[in-house]
Chain A
């Protein structure tokens, strides 16, 4: 490939007619009917991100209400039923409807741009996944508005979640909708894997792939191997609840612990599914704001991969108090401590990258530095709870609540907000205000620590999770009040970013193609990118293509793709040599109809099993319509 590159040295001339034709070919239909047919990856990615943040806002409000209830002893602000629904929904929505979809949304938007292509491998599947997610989210959150929300905790343990103790529709909605939206996570994962492996710009070998793309790849593989376990466990629970199977009922030979094993076999990797893309975001931001190549690229890639692998061997550490055999528990303790090694490698590589660099302390970089402080504390308490005696002491107390909020908010949300500030100019063409960004960061950072640090102490003093109130004699009132005050400061911090984002759409400073002087391909095209992403598919010769081009003053591109048909270059898996051209589909309504057909089945089975059969055949017919070859067939050749 590079041989050809040296032979041909023609300058590329862009004719305006051809560019116009290309823009029309990749055009996404606008307006209300158009919304149901769009398939372009940037449209779908943007929807995932916006919808994800709406769920973040809603679940955040639930969190504030929970904190308000706990602000003082013996309050009756929410009452036990509503409190149970609120903490269940807070956890469920944050994990399943915010964290995973928003991370996938960033990957869907950014990865194709970073690898220099025009769309994802299966654009229609992408759209399908989004509709599934949207419908599932609306149904689940809708259940709260009619007072029928699930209330058995975000991990929905049996027997509490069984029919005997939770006879209402709430847990039915939880089990069906969780199974349902995992479909969306899985489609996005396969989509990302194939896009990353097959659609990279010529010359972008695996060894030159941006670290965020690596992170997205590892995240996707983890989703593929972890999600099926939660699909199986929630399917078994649906069957127990709807058609009287006996999987989790002890009297007839069922095993409640089977739920915990299957759930945590998914649930532990899930935490890392959220963390790993955030690690990729951090590396990306550090490279850009230090303005030089990152220290230990290979070490960073290997540690992300090994975090992904080791995280599958940790699930039992959520079950230390269930009375499992000693040897098994020791294994899982060892594995839990092991994960500190690759995490440490990451941190040290980043420190080495920051060491002696001229760091620009722009807002994205601040959020990354905030991550360092918070995540290290969360990691330390993680090592503490990996030891069985300590875990037995603090199990189901606020110490755990403090620990996982440090890991999840520190490890995922802070980098995510940093990444939002970082890629915002690419998404919208305008920069967010730096001043408001810094206010937002400091409010969130201080608010976060004031909210969650006291929880360590509350946990050590014995305050249990998931209890709607406590008596004044326990002496937990002051710390709880402090924590509640902190939570409003934290919320204000995120609120400033929300206002900043909306304000910047109208008043933000125009960004230009590459406002941060970043080295990766998404900054090689306009902001926001045109419908076809890149006028020409770029070619890559190192990990830092934009910096190369600045030095040499010239760059090579791919030519010969059609202007009247959606075409992208297929490259080989390891070294990204062009091996063909793939034609991608145009906007279509069928993914939407398939998603509606699937949701009719999933929602229907809560009321009667016959809806499963109906949904099955409806999905089949819509899939046939989706894949049926369109005449004239000749067009393919």
Chain B
């Protein structure tokens, strides 16, 4: 059989800073899986709430202030992540490093605030199903914020060392996408855990 040269790919790009890269799709897959987990947690919360006579059992919804502050901080950290990515798109390594660092600091503040808030809860996870689901969802999101802080710290270290360039930045792109996911995942949890009982009771 004659074998003919159909197409020559020697000159094609080897580095892909965008959705041409398989890793971009891989992280999208991870986000899809985790979104399904978020959804399953929300459904579990609603299922338990729907079958309860009083929800929460004390009749009082948890305080609104600090979770709202966390929401704002998480959204702000997404903005600084976005600006960091804009920087490296123009080849500005400094803007990338500073942007990622700011995001990491903002999310770390969230972790501190969340820790204080959880410690102040007057119910444990052993007491009732409400406590169990609230602590589990909180723990789930807390672990995710911790993961993204750790992961992005590594990205920040590499950024300060000048590893990333306009072409070689798929690591930044996928880390940013995951960051958006963790921040946005807080929105349904926030609405469900803090507004849900208020709307339900009101």
Contact = CB atoms under 8 A, between A and B. Distances in A.
Q: Please say whether chains A and B are actual partners in one complex.
A: yes
Interface in A533-577: 536, 539, 549, 553-561, 567, 569-570
B91 interface: no
Nearest to A537: B9
A636 B2 contact: no
A589 B134 CA distance: 39
Given A245-B135, A554-B4, A560-B8, A258 B37 contact: no
A474 interface: no
B200 interface: no
Query: Size band of the B side of the interface?
Result: 35 or more
B121 to A, nearest CB: 14
Contacts of B39: 228
A393 interface: no
A125 to B, nearest CB: 8
A5 interface: yes
Interface stretch (A247-255, A396-404, A445-453): A247-255
A600 to B, nearest CB: 17
Contacts of B4: 8-12, 554-557
B26 A121 contact: yes
B13 A580 contact: yes
Contact of A246 (B6, B126, B154): B126
Nearest to B55: A253
Contacts of B133: 247
Nearest to B47: A258
B22 A121 contact: yes
B40 A228 contact: yes
A239 B167 CA distance: 45
Interface residues of A, number: 76
B14 A557 contact: no
Contacts of B40: 228-229, 231-233, 262, 265
Contact of B20 (A190, A553, A556, A570): A570
A480 B9 CA distance: 64
Nearest to B32: A224
A307 to B, nearest CB: 19
Interface string A258-271: 10011001000000
Most-contacted residue by chain A among B22, B37, B51, B154 (CB, 10 A): B22
Contact of B25 (A194, A224, A629, A636): A194
Contacts of B32: 224-225
Interface in A577-596: 578-583
B105 interface: no
Contacts of B30: 190
Contacts of A324: none
Given A121-B26, A194-B25, A580 B129 contact: no
Nearest to B25: A194
A559 B8 contact: yes
A582 B14 CA distance: 6
Contacts of B141: none
Given A549-B1, A580-B16, A636-B168, A202 B36 contact: no
Contact of A253 (B7, B25, B52, B163): B52
Nearest to B161: A629
B14 A637 contact: yes
A175 B81 CA distance: 37
Most-contacted residue by chain A among B29, B32, B41, B125 (CB, 10 A): B29
A4 interface: yes
Contact of B16 (A8, A199, A243, A582): A582
A202 B163 CA distance: 33
B136 interface: yes
A637 to B, nearest CB: 6
B33 to A, nearest CB: 6
Contact of B6 (A202, A224, A227): A202
Contacts of B150: 620
B182 to A, nearest CB: 15
A93 to B, nearest CB: 24
Nearest to A14: B3
A10 B2 CA distance: 10
B22 A244 contact: no
A524 to B, nearest CB: 10
Contacts of B1: 549, 553-555
Interface string B164-195: 00011001000000000000000000000000
Contacts of A580: 12-14, 16, 20
B132 A246 contact: yes
Contacts of B6: 4-5, 8, 202, 539, 556-559
Interface string B125-164: 1111111110110000001001100100010001000010
A582 B29 CA distance: 19
Given A198-B25, A224-B33, A582-B21, A239 B5 contact: no
B25 A624 contact: no
A253 B129 contact: yes
B10 interface: yes
B129 A225 contact: no
Given A11-B5, A553-B1, A246 B128 contact: yes
Interface of B: 1-16, 20-23, 25-26, 29-30, 32-34, 36-37, 39-41, 44, 47-48, 51-52, 57, 125-133, 135-136, 143, 146-147, 150, 154, 158, 163, 167-168, 171
5 contacts: A11-B4, A240-B132, A560-B12, A580-B20, A629-B158
- Top 3 nearest A-B pairs (CB, nearest first) are A556-B6, A560-B10, A190-B29
Interface of A: 1, 4-5, 8-12, 121-122, 125, 186, 189-191, 193-194, 197-199, 202, 224-225, 227-229, 231-233, 235-236, 239-240, 243-247, 249, 252-255, 258, 261-262, 265, 536, 539, 549, 553-561, 567, 569-570, 578-583, 616, 620, 624, 627, 629, 633, 636-637
Given A245-B132, A581-B13, 5 more contacts: A228-B33, A246-B132, A557-B6, A620-B147, A637-B14
